[in-house]
Structure 1
Amino acid sequence: MKKLFLTLFCFSLIYCKKNENLNDKSISSMVALEDVELKSPAPSQAISEKALSDNSSASINNPSKIDSISKKIIKNGEMTIQVGDIKKAQQQVGEILSKSNAYVQKEDFRNTDTDESLNLIIRVPHKNFDILIDSFSNGVGSILSKNISSDDVTEEYTDVTIKLANKKIYLEKYRDMLRSASTTKDMIEIQEKIRELVDEIDIAEGRLRFIDDRVKYSTFNLTLYKEKIRSSTTSKIGFGSRFGDSFTEGWNSFVSFSLGIISFWPYFLLFPIFILIWKKWKRKTKK
């Protein structure tokens, strides 16, 4: 009988021991879970911060967007050609422009006593730029000056594109904030931020359009020059024509000299007054 009571007592002790261990484990697990929940941020805050960081760096860390931008090279040039007849040379230039799909953006003609000049600002497709230069170099006239330049703006274009994408992302964020704003002060501040971003976006888009236009159509400055004062080394002109030009030039110089002397007439009036004063002073010194 004693052995039976001892056996039951041992089983009860073992059972209580197991229950205590289980209770301790459950309590410790609950405490650990509470610690984790206290340390971890709110779900909405974590999601919003992650979305903001992902959106703000999406365009910067996206290599496919950067690689998709092709080379942006702006070509410019200028050339001065001496011709014998401005009108004839202008007709030749018009035919060359028609073949190259180019057009004249601005035209400026000047006519002086010594020369005539026609300045043309030409826009030509990028692919036809070199063909246009070769056409002007052959057959139009004598080249006096020539300057060709190329400017690689790929880095600037990429930088502006990335900043523009980021500004558009932040613009959408501010618009979402404006829809959920609760006070008038917050609404005014958010609207001011939106206005600034819209202005910056317009400027960036305008800069990209300008670069695209300069890349697509190159700018070429052509000057057709004709010298009026002729010499035997530049043209085959008879003695009579050269004599008439020299006579006209001499007469123009004489007229210019005479007009220059006449322009000193106030000094001629002061000269007699100076002589009278000098004579009076001389008489006083003699007395």
Structure 2
Amino acid sequence: MRTLLLPLLFFAFINCSKSGDNKHSVNADLVEMINEEPSPPSSISEKLLPDGKSSTSTEIKTDTISRKIIKNGNIRIQVGEIKKAQALVNEILKKNNAYIQKEEFRNTDVDENLDLTIRVPHKSFDTLINSFSDGLGSVLSKNVSSDDVTEEYTDVSIKLANKKIYLEKYRDMLKSAANTKDMLEIQEKIRGLEDEIDVAEGRLRFIDDRVNYSTLNLSLYKEKVRSSATSKIGFGSRFADSITEGWNSFVAFLLGIISFWPFFLLLPLIIILWRKWKKKKQ
């Protein structure tokens, strides 16, 4: 019996020591994992771009961005009738899938002006300008400009892609934040990135809108015929009217002088004082 018990006790002792070693190794692994928990980085680039992999991914995306060109134009046309010209403009706009964004009409004694701000698809811009130049009237002035915003669009796109990467990293870090201080710092970073992403996306939408739809400022001008209102009246009537106008002008002049009567009352007093001062000086 003793020979059997001694080996059994020896094996049991060995198993207990091994289990203890395993527990110590598991605890050591847990300590290492806890120590490796991510903490809020002092700068975004230090944590998220250690090897430059994210920047290369954005560079690949920029290769697919097409040219971004914004076209704008101004054209002023003299027409015979504003209403007829406006009807023709509406027909031309329908053919080119364009629309009027703003309309302003001015009617003076000398002329009539209709100013239109037109948005037209990028591909139909040149066709629309040629249609207005040939079919409406006499072109007084025309100005067309093209602005290449590809570089700006690319720059904003790269920054937006990087900010989205940073945002996802911070959201992952927020899930494993160790304490309240770290959570607050990460949440502040997330709010700032979300605001910057909204601004960047808004800028890209604005550029896309200006690229896809060009802007044309069209001004229709009509000069009124200058005719005298008294051209059909006889000489006698016109002579009498001239006398009447002259008399009215004289009366208005006289009334204007009378309105200065307080100054006329002060004038003799000023003369008397001036004479006394001159005598004393002599």
Q: Are residue 69 (structure 1) and residue 65 (structure 2) matched?
A: yes
Counterpart among 170, 176, 179 of residue 175 in structure 2: 179
Counterpart of 2:13 in structure 1 is: none
Counterpart of 1:277 in structure 2 is: 269
Aligned mates of 2:168, 2:53 — CA distance in 1: 15
Residue 71 of structure 1 aligns to a residue whose secondary structure is coil
Counterpart among 140, 143, 146 of residue 139 in structure 2: 143
Q: Are residue 96 (structure 1) and residue 92 (structure 2) matched?
A: yes
Contact 2:76 2:142 in 1 (8 A): yes
Aligned mates of 1:262, 1:61 — CA distance in 2: 88
Residue 58 of structure 1 aligns to a residue whose secondary structure is helix
Q: Are residue 105 (structure 1) and residue 101 (structure 2) matched?
A: yes
The residue identity in structure 1 corresponding to 2:269 is I
Over 3 Å counting, the alpha-carbon distance change for 1:95 and 1:216 in structure 2 is: same
Over 3 Å counting, the alpha-carbon distance change for 1:261 and 1:76 in structure 2 is: farther
Over 3 Å counting, the alpha-carbon distance change for 1:246 and 1:128 in structure 2 is: farther
1:226-250 CA-to-partner distances (Å, cap 9, x unmatched) read 12254xxxxxxxxxxx343879xxx
* Structure 1: stretches of 5+ with no match in the other structure: 1-41, 231-241
Counterpart of 1:134 in structure 2 is: 130
What is the Cα-based RMSD across aligned positions, in Å? 3.7
Contact 2:103 2:115 in 1 (8 A): yes
Counterpart of 1:244 in structure 2 is: 229
Aligned mates of 2:191, 2:159 — CA distance in 1: 17
Identity among equivalent pairs (%): 62
Aligned mates of 2:119, 2:258 — CA distance in 1: 55
Q: CA deviation at 1:283?
A: 6.9
Residue 220 of structure 2 aligns to a residue whose secondary structure is strand
The residue identity in structure 2 corresponding to 1:209 is R
Q: CA deviation at 1:50?
A: 10
The residue identity in structure 2 corresponding to 1:276 is P
Q: CA deviation at 1:81?
A: 0.8
Aligned mates of 2:191, 2:258 — CA distance in 1: 66
1:132-182 CA-to-partner distances (Å, cap 9, x unmatched) read 000000120111111100000111111100100000000011111111112
Counterpart of 2:115 in structure 1 is: 119
TM-score, normalised relative to structure 1: 0.68
Counterpart of 2:260 in structure 1 is: 268
Residue 267 of structure 2 aligns to a residue whose secondary structure is helix
Over 3 Å counting, the alpha-carbon distance change for 1:182 and 1:74 in structure 2 is: same
Aligned mates of 2:123, 2:260 — CA distance in 1: 68
Q: Are residue 83 (structure 1) and residue 68 (structure 2) matched?
A: no
> How many residues are paired up?
227
Q: CA deviation at 1:54?
A: 6.6
Contact 1:56 1:169 in 2 (8 A): no
Q: CA deviation at 1:203?
A: 0.3
Q: CA deviation at 1:126?
A: 0.4
Counterpart of 1:163 in structure 2 is: 159
Aligned mates of 1:271, 1:58 — CA distance in 2: 87
